[in-house]
Chains A and B, each alone.
Chain A
Amino acid sequence: QKEVEQDPGPLSVPEGAIVSLNCTYSNSAFQYFMWYRQYSRKGPELLMYTYSSGNKEDGRFTAQVDKSSKYISLFIRDSQPSDSATYLCAMSAGSNTGKLIFGQGTTLQVKP
C-alpha cells in the first residue's frame, strides 16, 4: 500500500463547476500538507499549504485536512479553463530530512 493515494483521473468538468480533489494517507505522523499545481511541461507550483487539521482558503481554492480520517481535499470554486493542470498532493512529517511524499497526481481538464 502506498503511503499517499490519489485518484489519477483524468477529471473533466465544465467551466464554472466546483472541483473536489482528494488524497488519503496512511502515516499518522504527517503534519504538513501541500497541494501543487503542475502545468504541462512545467515544474510543480505550490498552491496551498496547511499545517495539521482544518481549512484554509485562498481565493477560489480551499484546502481541507481531516487528520482523524487521514484525508485531505482541495476544492476549486468557479473552475476556469486555466485551472486545467495536474494537481499533486504532498505531505511531510516535519522531520529534519525535509522529505515530501507525493500522491500520484490528478489530471484536471476544465472545458469552456
Chain B
Amino acid sequence: SAVISQKPSRDICQRGTSLTIQCQVDSQVTMMFWYRQQPGQSLTLIATANQGSEATYESGFVIDKFPISRPNLTFSTLTVSNMSPEDSSIYLCSVVGIVAKNIQYFGAGTRLSVL
C-alpha cells in the first residue's frame, strides 16, 4: 500500500480564517479523495480530487468552502475556508490502491479545532 503523509496533523484556528491541508503520497496514484469525520461519526466524502481538473464535490459540499487542488499524481491540498466552529473535524485524505482499485488507503488525518 502507498505511504500517505498529511500536514498538519492538527491545528487550532480562529473563526473566519482558512486552513490548507496537504496530502503527499509516495507513489503515483490515480484517485485521491478527501473525507470529513466529525466527532463520534463515520467518514463523509467531501470530494474526489482530480489531477489537472476541478474536483468532483459530493452533495452538501461546495468549492467555495472547500477548494481542492491536485497539481500532480502524488499531491493534493484541501482548504477549509472561512471557518466556523462547525468545521471542527478530522479531515482525511485517501488514495485508491494501484492493484485493487476498489480499496482505499488513508492518511493519519488532520484534527482541526475552530474557536
Q: Are A and B physically bound partners?
A: yes
Residues of A whose CB lies within 8 Å of any CB of B are 6, 32, 34, 36, 41-46, 49, 88, 90, 92, 94, 97-100, 102-105
Contacts of B92 in A (CB 8 A): 43-44
Can you name 15 extra interface pairs (CB under 8 A) apart from A42-B109, A49-B100? A6-B42, A34-B103, A43-B4, A43-B106, A44-B92, A44-B106, A46-B104, A90-B104, A98-B104, A99-B48, A102-B42, A103-B42, A104-B41, A104-B42, A105-B42
- Closest chain A residue, CB of each to CB of B100: A49
Q: Within the complex, which residue of A34, A49, A98 is in contact with B33, where a contact is CB–CB below 8 Å?
A: A98
10 closest Cβ pairs, A-B complex: A43-B106, A32-B102, A43-B108, A102-B42, A104-B42, A102-B43, A98-B31, A43-B109, A44-B106, A92-B102
Contacts of B42 in A (CB 8 A): 6, 88, 102-105
Contacts of A43 in B (CB 8 A): 4, 6, 92, 106-109
Q: Within the complex, which residue of B104, B107, B108, B109 is in contact with A100, where a contact is CB–CB below 8 Å?
A: B104
B111 in the interface, Cβ–Cβ < 8 Å? yes
Contacts of B103 in A (CB 8 A): 32, 34, 46, 49
Mark B85-108 against chain A: 1 for CB-CB distance below 8 A, else 0: 000000010001000111111111
Q: How close is B76's CB to chain A, nearest CB, in angstroms?
A: 14
Contacts of B43 in A (CB 8 A): 44, 88, 102
Contacts of A44 in B (CB 8 A): 43, 92, 106
Number of interface residues of B (CB under 8 A): 23
Q: How close is A1's CB to chain B, nearest CB, in angstroms?
A: 15
Contacts of A100 in B (CB 8 A): 45, 104
A43-B109, A44-B92 known; A98 and B102 CB under 8 Å?
A: yes
- Closest chain A residue, CB of each to CB of B6: A43
**Cβ-defined contact, A46 with B1, below 8 A:** yes
